[in-house]
Copies of this chain bind each other. A is one copy, B any other.
């Protein structure tokens, strides 16, 4: 056996070629861990920057099995790989992190709500909408929990898609006719939205990032403030404990992002994600360990990294596509205007309203940081035409 044969560095496979896999590559480079990506197209965000790209459909079992062969562990850039396929990969001897049982809670909102409720985790009032007389059911639900209420597709929603805030009890039947499996939830009178990001390793170690405030517009996260300003230590600790507890009870391995509503009384769980999450992009520049490194450490069952922030505040603003897709020339103004802003673009074709990147700004003056992040994101979107756009 040669010296080289004695050396094995584990290969991490990530199904999905989006920006989360792309940014995971930055962390994999530092750790010296080879990252293999399953992408549908060589032009996808991660496929542009990873040498070991396998082209295929991550919802096809043969493609997934072929991809997994030779990986030491498989993880995911999204929630769309069917659980039965993940079971097949594990049966073929390649561990998947998160595993299929845990991941189901991020794939199916009905399963998630029922599971969390059984665990005593605070959630909005909810119910599965029956196929039989949905209007009558919703009328009764609205009588008890108020109107408007929130209809959600159990599967496949993201960025505001698959969510309907409505008082129309007839809408459910129309969606069901299109094949959408629906939940109804009370519309929570929240003060603001928070997110608690934690990691959990197979060994059982947990690590929690500071709880952040997330700001949405039209269902899309536009801004994250880390840590959430004015959040009491007690409530922050409560949210972190809740997320660590959910991670343990669901058997999550890797990252878990818990999106929360903050109400007058405490916090309620809105959504779960088991992967690096938009609410954690601030960690690339604002934390000693980025969420992408943390996810790799967790899925490799390595000890987790410090979640200590590198500044009192970091503000992240998502960059959305504007009318003119030619973003690079706008770097000149943004960088000259603010040498401290950190730009992260995903190599995605710019289309109006599409998330194509984000910016981070770190420091101590929160109002200033928010203004700077907003300015950079708006200019990258619209250029000089930004004036009057907001």
Q: Which residues of A contact B (CB under 8 A)?
A: 3-4, 6-10, 22-23, 25-26, 28-32, 34, 47-51, 53, 207, 284-285, 288-289, 297, 302-306, 308, 310-311, 325-328, 331-332, 335-336, 339-340, 342-347, 349-350, 357, 362
Asked if B10 and A328 sit within 8 Å, CB to CB, the answer is yes
Q: Complex Cα distance A26/B345, Å?
A: 12
Q: Is the CB of A6 within 8 A of B325?
A: yes
Collect the chain B residues with CB atoms within 8 Å of residue A22's CB: 29
Min CB distance A85 to B, Å, is: 26
Asked if A345 and B31 sit within 8 Å, CB to CB, the answer is: yes
Which residue of B has the minimal Cβ distance to A286? B310
Residues in B with CB closer than 8 Å to A31 are: 331, 343, 345
CA distance A161 to B182 in the complex (A): 70
Measured CA separation A203–B322 after assembly (Å):
29
Q: In the assembly, what is the distance between CA of A289 and CA of B340, in Å?
A: 8
* Residue of B whose beta carbon sits closest to that of A335: B303
Contact A8 B49 (CB under 8 A): no
A304 to chain B minimum Cβ distance, whole angstroms, is: 7
In whole angstroms, how far apart are the Cα atoms of A53 and B34 in the complex?
16
Q: Note all chain B residues with C-beta closer than 8 A to A306.
A: 339-340
| A346 to B34 alpha-carbon distance, docked (Å) | 11
A335 close to B297 (CB less than 8 A): yes
Q: Which 10 A-B pairs have the closest CB atoms?
A: A32-B345, A303-B335, A303-B336, A306-B340, A310-B310, A306-B339, A26-B26, A7-B326, A30-B344, A29-B49
> Which of B8, B26, B285 is close to A328, meaning CB atoms less than 8 Å apart?
B8
* A42 and chain B: residue at smallest CB distance: B51
A48 to B30, CA, bound (A): 12
Instruction: Please give the distance in Å from A309's CB to the nearest CB on chain B.
Output: 10
Which of chain B's residues have a CB closer than 8 A to the CB of A362?
Answer: 288, 310
Task: Verify B305–A339 contact, CB threshold 8 A.
Answer: yes
Question: What separation, in Å, do the CA atoms of A342 and B306 have in the docked complex?
Answer: 10
Given contacts A29-B26, A342-B288, A350-B7, whether A335 and B49 have CB atoms under 8 Å apart is no
On whether the beta carbons of B34 and A29 are closer than 8 Å, the reply is no
Kindly report which residue of chain B lies nearest to residue A347, judged by CB atoms.
B32
In the docked arrangement, what's the CA distance between A31 and B302, Å?
29
A342 engages B49 (CB within 8 Å): no
A340 and B308 form a contact (CB under 8 A):
yes
Q: Mind listing 16 A-B residue pairs with CB under 8 Å?
A: A3-B325, A3-B349, A7-B327, A7-B328, A8-B326, A32-B357, A34-B347, A49-B50, A288-B342, A288-B362, A303-B336, A304-B335, A304-B339, A305-B339, A305-B340, A306-B339
A7-B328, A10-B328, A22-B29 known; 20 new pairs, CB 8 Å cut-off, are: A7-B326, A7-B327, A7-B350, A9-B328, A28-B49, A30-B284, A30-B344, A32-B343, A32-B357, A49-B51, A50-B51, A285-B288, A288-B362, A297-B335, A302-B331, A302-B335, A304-B335, A305-B339, A306-B340, A308-B340
List, in ascending order, chain B residues with CB within 8 A of A308's CB.
340
